[in-house]
């Protein structure tokens, strides 16, 4: 029988629904195991956020279809509706024809020659950062990675350096914004956002600070770059609409810059923090990678041309992206009926999937909780569509993927050539999935010179 002739199939509801919350409790308290457990109930499973049904895809092929073949039939979904009002309509948030137009404008800033330059500036910033990490006291790795990723993105894309006050504002604002916009999407009523409680005040201040800081960066760039050159900001500032010939409104330039800053710092910083936690726990692997790096560049200052030779370091990064995928949840909303395995999701249906859950499926990855870079020696096993999607797929696929991969290799090389990382205590490595990414909560790290 053809799929179209098949009798309608109802979408099974995940166990544990609790009125009026629906499945919010497991989603807030134990999200990753909960999302992983949904595959036991079928390829399409219904959960409820309050009373809103959300359809979770647990099969990689369906996820691929959603992101690629059905891309034109979807929009980004309810979390992004909320984010748009708060953070503007930048690339990470926009949809449809507007998104495609903006993507065409932004994309050249991520072409090979640009990424080669970004890699060089990342190498310089990483070397300077590593030279400041003394062995005298154990430190958390996460803030170090956030500061470094922030400086790399700002220098690469905005060709500028921040004042200490701007750095402090961005560092305070980004985590609050990234946690807050997901949480706000889960509020049962928009009225709760208006309550004068500390969490709302913190969030509003963070959004304001982020916008003000990016406005300052854009204003400075507008004065400096009068003609076309190669920075992302100058691309945006000199872009003209094909039909109207008009320049992009300053608020839209700001929104694009905010989008890139948010999308491009937290993700790489979190991945690098996980990588270094894993390497601190796996000393033999750390030695092997250090050896690889030093064979390529004794001081760890690798160039773009060196990157293909850092094969094992690249495997460790891929394995980190698999096991500790930053974007643990992604979503879309149907604009037209979507048909998956006999199930018809009507227009307006919210659809969700977890790249992390797919990357941890025991059927797809044997012994999935083991950190094992050897999986990537023969990567053809991971080539099935939808099986490995840390950067998404289709028209919204991460525009910064090659930049991110280059940046992570360059930073890993700078650290591995010069330092040995050790956990300061036996504190277990835990995950915190309360924000837009899964952050590590682990021991302080001792960084000794090699």
Q: Residue 359 corresponds to which tokens in the numbers above?
A: 């990357």
What does the binding site for ligand HEM look like in residue numbers (CB under 6 A)? 91-92, 103, 153, 157, 259-260, 263-264, 267-268, 271, 326-327, 330, 390-392, 396, 398-400, 403-404
Closest distance to ligand HEM from the beta carbon of 396 (Å): 3
3-state SS record for 238-253: HCECCCCCCECCHHHH
Closest distance to ligand HEM from the beta carbon of 263 (Å): 4
Closest distance to ligand HEM from the beta carbon of 450 (Å): 26
Q: Which alpha helices (H) appear in 282-400, and where do they start and end?
A: 283-296, 311-323, 355-359
Closest distance to ligand HEM from the beta carbon of 74 (Å): 10
Closest distance to ligand HEM from the beta carbon of 389 (Å): 7
Closest distance to ligand HEM from the beta carbon of 327 (Å): 4
Nearer Cβ to ligand HEM (177/446) = 177
Name the β-bridge partners of 344: 339
Residue 7 DSSP label: P
Nearer Cβ to ligand HEM (209/256) = 256
- The string of DSSP codes covering 312-372 is HHHHHHHHHHHHT-S---EEEEESS-EEETTEEEPTT-EEEE-HHHHHT-TTTSSSTTS--
Nearer Cβ to ligand HEM (269/416) = 269
Nearer Cβ to ligand HEM (127/408) = 408
Closest distance to ligand HEM from the beta carbon of 153 (Å): 5
CA 296 to chain centre: 29
Closest distance to ligand HEM from the beta carbon of 71 (Å): 9
End-to-end CA distance of the chain: 65
Helix axes 198-224, 78-87, angle to 10 degrees: 60
Nearer Cβ to ligand HEM (411/446) = 411
Closest distance to ligand HEM from the beta carbon of 398 (Å): 3
User: Please, are residues 80 and 72 in contact by the beta-carbon 8 Å criterion?
Assistant: no
Name the β-bridge partners of 448: 420
What phi-psi label fits residue 148: left (phi over 0), alpha (psi between -120 and 50 degrees) or beta? alpha
Nearer Cβ to ligand HEM (42/400) = 400
Nearer Cβ to ligand HEM (408/421) = 408
Nearer Cβ to ligand HEM (143/366) = 143
**Buried b vs exposed e over 348-386: b needs ≥16 C-beta within 10 Å?**
ebbbbbbbbbbbbeeebbeebeebbbebbeeeeeeeeeb
Q: Using DSSP, state whether 58 is helix, strand or coil.
A: coil
- The string of DSSP codes covering 144-168 is HHHHHHHHHHHHHHH-----HHHHH
Nearer Cβ to ligand HEM (330/358) = 330
* C-alpha distances in Å from residue 248, one per residue of 29, 260, 281: 42, 16, 48
């Amino acid at each position: 029988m053809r799929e179209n002739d098949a009798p309608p199939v109802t979408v099974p509801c995940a166990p544990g629904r609790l009125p009026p919350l629906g499945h919010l409790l497991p989603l807030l308290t134990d999200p990753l195991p909960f999302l992983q457990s949904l595959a036991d109930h079928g390829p399409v499973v219904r959960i409820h956020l309050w009373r809103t049904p959300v359809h979770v895809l647990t099969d990689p092929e369906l996820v691929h279809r959603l992101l690629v073949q059905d891309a034109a039939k979807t929009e980004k979904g309810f979390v992004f509706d909320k984010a748009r009002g708060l953070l503007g309509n930048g690339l990470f948030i926009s949809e449809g024809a507007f998104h495609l137009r903006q993507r065409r404008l932004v994309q050249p800033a991520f072409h090979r020659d640009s990424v080669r330059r970004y890699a060089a500036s990342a190498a310089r910033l990483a070397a300077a950062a590593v030279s400041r990490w003394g062995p005298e006291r154990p430190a958390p790795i996460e803030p170090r990675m956030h500061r470094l990723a922030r400086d790399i993105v700002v220098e690469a894309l905005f060709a500028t350096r921040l004042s200490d006050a701007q750095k402090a504002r961005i560092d305070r604002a980004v985590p609050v914004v990234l946690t807050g916009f997901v949480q706000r999407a889960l509020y049962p009523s928009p009225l709760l956002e208006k309550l004068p409680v500390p969490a709302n005040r913190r969030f509003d201040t963070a959004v304001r600070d982020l916008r003000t800081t990016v406005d300052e960066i854009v204003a400075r760039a507008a004065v400096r770059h009068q003609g076309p050159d190669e920075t992302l900001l100058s691309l945006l500032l000199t872009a003209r609409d094909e039909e109207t010939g008009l320049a992009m409104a300053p608020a839209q330039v700001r929104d694009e810059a905010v989008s890139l800053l948010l999308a491009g710092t937290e993700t790489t910083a979190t991945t690098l923090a996980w990588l270094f936690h894993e390497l601190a726990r796996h000393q033999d692997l750390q030695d092997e990678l250090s050896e690889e790096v030093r064979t390529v560049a004794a001081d760890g200052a690798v160039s773009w041309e060196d990157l293909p030779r850092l094969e094992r370091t690249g495997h460790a990064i891929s394995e980190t992206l698999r096991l500790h995928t930053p974007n643990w949840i992604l979503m879309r909303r149907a604009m037209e009926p979507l048909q998956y395995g006999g199930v018809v999701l009507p227009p307006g249906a919210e659809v969700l999937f977890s790249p992390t859950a797919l990357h941890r499926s025991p059927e797809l990855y044997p012994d999935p909780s083991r950190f094992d870079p050897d999986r990537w020696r023969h990567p053809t096993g991971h080539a099935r569509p939808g099986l490995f999607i840390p950067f998404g797929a289709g028209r919204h696929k991460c525009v910064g993927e090659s930049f991110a991969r280059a940046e992570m290799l360059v930073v890993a090389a700078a650290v591995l050539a010069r330092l040995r990382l050790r956990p300061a205590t036996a504190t277990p490595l835990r995950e915190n999935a309360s924000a837009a990414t899964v952050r590590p909560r682990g021991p302080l790290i001792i960084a000794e010179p090699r």
